[in-house]
Chains A and B, each alone.
Chain A
Amino acid sequence: DAEITQSPRHKITETGRQVTLACHQTWNHNNMFWYRQDLGHGLRLIHYSYGVHDTNKGEVSDGYSVSRSNTEDLPLTLESAASSQTSVYFCASSDSLDQPQHFGDGTRLSIL
């Protein structure tokens, strides 16, 4: 069965460190998204991609970057982790805008 996996599931790191969260999907979807989920804010879009070598900023992109070198993967990098980036991060993929997104199980990131 096709799936979307995120790793690690949990991570604790220190401020100032670079952190990369992995997202891998086997749906062969062109569209991939990264969200953060914080209490009271629902899901907020960080970055998204519509295909290989395509990346776009979402509403809360400052301090984050992504790259898309193949269809399956969209890693999210925190260049210099800040405590304000402590959150739960979700990766998602979709076939097209009229189709639902498939979500990974999330990564709980704590920055101390």
Chain B
Amino acid sequence: AQKVTQAQTEISVVEKEDVTLDCVYETRDTTYYLFWYKQPPSGELVFLIRRNSFDEQNEISGRYSWNFQKSTSSFNFTITASQVVDSAVYFCALSEVTNAGKSTFGDGTTLTVKP
């Protein structure tokens, strides 16, 4: 089974719509770290957020928000009032203590925001 599952391969929305990108992970560790990265059409990978397993507090940064729920092993990412510049591939990643610091990436969700 995949350790990080991003079930949504592609999502298309119209500008100003809200959109949630799902991330479900699997681990036996009690200490682990979750990350979201953005890959815009230009190709570089940009770090967005980190969350450790002991901090279930949701986070909001401008139009971006993240909902971490250990009970469902999910770390979902919501973009409010989407913009064309949000069009990108978004990756969720898991880093486990027992996996010696390596990150396991999901397959990514391609978000297209149409004007």
> Could you count the A-B residue pairs with CB atoms below 8 Å apart for me: how many are there?
50
The A interface, classified by DSSP as helix, strand, loop or mixed, is: strand
Asked if A70 is at the interface (CB within 8 A of a chain B CB), the reply is: no
Q: State whether A31 and B91 are in contact (beta carbons under 8 Å apart), knowing that A42-B106, A98-B33, A105-B43 are contacts in the complex.
A: no
Q: Is the CB of A50 within 8 A of B107?
A: no
Tell me, rounded to whole Å, the shortest Cβ–Cβ distance linking A85 to chain B. Answer: 18
Bound CA span A108–B95, Å: 26
Interface centre among A40, A92, A101 (most CB of B within 10 A): A101
Whole-angstrom distance between the alpha carbons of A96 and B33 in the complex? 11
What residues make up the interface of A, taking CB atoms closer than 8 Å to B? 31, 33, 35, 40-45, 48, 50, 58, 88, 90, 92, 94, 96-103, 105-106
